Amino acid sequence: MESCLIEDQTTFYSKAEHYWKEVPPTVDGMLGGYGSISSIDINGSKKFLQKFLG
């Protein structure tokens, strides 16, 4: 069981390392292309959240 867990961790970190090597070291890269959000999206999110937060 432990060897399976270690293999899973190794695979996970190997894939993560590969992914982050391909991502540009910018705000946009770190946020998956969402370095900026339009005011329409922000206002829509606020309106949606107000239903739950009061």
| Residue 1 clears pLDDT 90, i.e. is over it | no
User: What is the amino acid identity at position 37?
Assistant: I
Compute φ and ψ for 43, nearest 5 degrees.
-65, -40
Confidence (pLDDT) at 38: 93
For 39, the token pair is: 């005011």
Count of H-run helices and E-run strands, the chain? 3, 0
Confidence (pLDDT) at 2: 65
**pTM for this structure?**
0.55
What are the pLDDT digits (tens) for 3-52? Answer: 677 779 899 999 999 999 999 999 999 999 888 989 999 999 999 999 99
